[in-house]
A and B are shown apart, each in its own frame.
Chain A
């Protein structure tokens, strides 16, 4: 019951804060949309002068890539930036005073954010499809598990950096670098063997095959699906391990309340 009350409290808080910071949330989506439009219209202009048709399928790839990147950024931000904000506002120590345990409060917050972010990301997806006129296959049964598997890596990265920020404090500049690193993970061709070890890469390719090629989940190569799952879980586990170690260090050095 204690956990149920904590979950309810977190849901209320996250929704309240999303409403209070609505301008911020909408601005983030709008800025990603603007970047998408720049990329799309740039590609379109290039395709217009290219007679080979080599860019066919690239627009679909761009839509899928931006969609996955948006979800990854939201997930990564939840696990890292939100933690830093709590430390900076001074509420982090109060969260650690919950008898449910900080890990549960954090987990609830991430799950709630993920669900809300999905709504925003899907709205963004429709905006991209409407802008490009390219309507992709939205097989929820196939896409949903792949999305979860794919963003695990982003959450793991977020946890790792959030933990490091607890100890080293001002590393926000590095956070920006990671966002661009995610872009790199999405543009690397997944057929390159070592690319399978990167977060987001294999998952993005699988989501593309579902959304752009109309494949169903069970029609995808099992090895690739399992590889995406294994990589996602590995990054998440590594991120959580780094976070736990950093949390212990922060408590040993009395840094939880510092910012």
Chain B
């Protein structure tokens, strides 16, 4: 995939206000700005109603923004519409983006055809995608006869087959079982890396975003509340909490000595195992812990640091945003 200089996508103070007669106005997108570099894989996260889909549709020209500017590979969307869409493809509603009475292959040929791709020149690539996504045996089967997972994959293939440098995936794993979702995101990850495509992926599935994306933009109530690399966000939320498993039920004296040294300790006993959760904020705390355990004659079965996952990070960020909003509205 050809690498382009400059930004792949620039969204500048994008706003979308829905006004219905007799109803209050709804600020679905409230002046958001962000940039995506070529080759980046960015996740767009947010609770329901955060404005993710509206943002994507504004970028694609499917919803008319109230104000703001969108630039795709340096070209203004409004001035170059619809020609600028040659740079973009999207999965919007998954299996609903397909003609169910047409086969997998017929759908690919149609959507790439209306995108202006000469069919014969890209047949090999279409074959490659169909194989890659495990659809080779189903290429001549009507979409309506496929499982939900295969329909979803077909929708993704139809978008990727257009060979656009910028791809939007809105809930690509919606309705998929765990195994199919895992398969899909592994394939997406590999393809994004191999073909150096710029991908904007919107999903509720944190595993998908955490696995596939390098960076995440978190939206809430139409605003961007966080825009950072996943690694950095996770680092901010790393709590230095540890989980410890000891053989057998721990004696009361050990619990008392640990609780005195490490406030906020949580301990659960069973006949075979004692599970402890505690914070070790200082670098030397691990040595202190080992000394206490050795003095008590405890046998360690397991020790691990608690890693925050994106779901916890997301929930915490959204919770804080909601609190801030409530505080700002409170007189």
Contacts and interface: CB of A to CB of B under 8 A. Distances in A.
B93 A257 contact: yes
Given A16-B102, A256-B62, A94 B97 contact: yes
Interface stretch (B33-41, B109-117, B187-195, B237-245): B109-117
Interface in B291-310: none
B85 A98 contact: yes
Nearest to B96: A90
B97 A93 contact: yes
B113 A97 contact: no
A257 B109 contact: no
Interface in A75-122: 89-91, 93-102, 105
Interface string A231-259: 00000000000000000100111101100
A196 B110 CA distance: 42
Nearest to B101: A20
Interface string A16-37: 1100110000000000000000
Interface in B1-30: 16, 18, 28
B113 A254 contact: no
Interface string B91-131: 01100111111100010011111111111000000000000
Interface string B262-302: 00000000000000000000000000000000000000000
B102 A99 contact: no
B51 to A, nearest CB: 11
Given A91-B97, A96-B62, A254-B54, A12 B106 contact: yes
B61 interface: yes
Contacts of B54: 254
Interface stretch (A3-11, A44-52, A204-212): A3-11
Contacts of B82: 96, 98-102
A83 B291 CA distance: 75
B90 interface: yes
A94 B162 CA distance: 12
B115 to A, nearest CB: 6
B116 A20 contact: no
B125 to A, nearest CB: 15
B57 A254 contact: yes
Given A99-B86, A254-B54, A13 B102 contact: yes
A98 B119 CA distance: 15
Given A12-B113, A99-B84, A256-B62, A5 B97 contact: no
Interface of A: 1-3, 5-6, 8-10, 12-13, 16-17, 20-21, 89-91, 93-102, 105, 248, 251-254, 256-257
Given A89-B96, A89-B99, A90-B96, A9 B61 contact: no
- Chain B interface main SS type: mixed
Contact of A257 (B61, B62, B102): B62
B50 interface: no
Given A12-B106, A12-B109, A17-B99, A93 B92 contact: yes
B18 A100 contact: no
A26 to B, nearest CB: 16
Contacts of B98: 90-91
B61 A105 contact: no
B117 A5 contact: yes
Nearest to B93: A90
A21 B101 contact: yes
Nearest to B88: A97
B89 interface: yes
Nearest to A6: B114
Contacts of A94: 92, 97, 111
> What are the nearest 8 A-B pairs in CB distance?
A9-B113, A90-B96, A2-B116, A99-B86, A99-B85, A98-B114, A20-B101, A251-B64
B52 to A, nearest CB: 13
Given A17-B99, A99-B85, A251 B63 contact: yes
Given A6-B115, A10-B114, 5 more contacts: A2-B86, A20-B102, A90-B97, A90-B98, A97-B88
B331 interface: no
B42 interface: no
A254 B96 CA distance: 17
A94 B108 CA distance: 12
B94 to A, nearest CB: 9
Contact of B99 (A5, A13, A251): A13
Contacts of A95: 114
B62 A17 contact: no
Contacts of A10: 113-114
Interface centre among B85, B90, B97, B114 (most CB of A within 10 A): B114
A97 B106 contact: no
Contacts of A20: 101-102, 142
Contacts of A9: 109-114
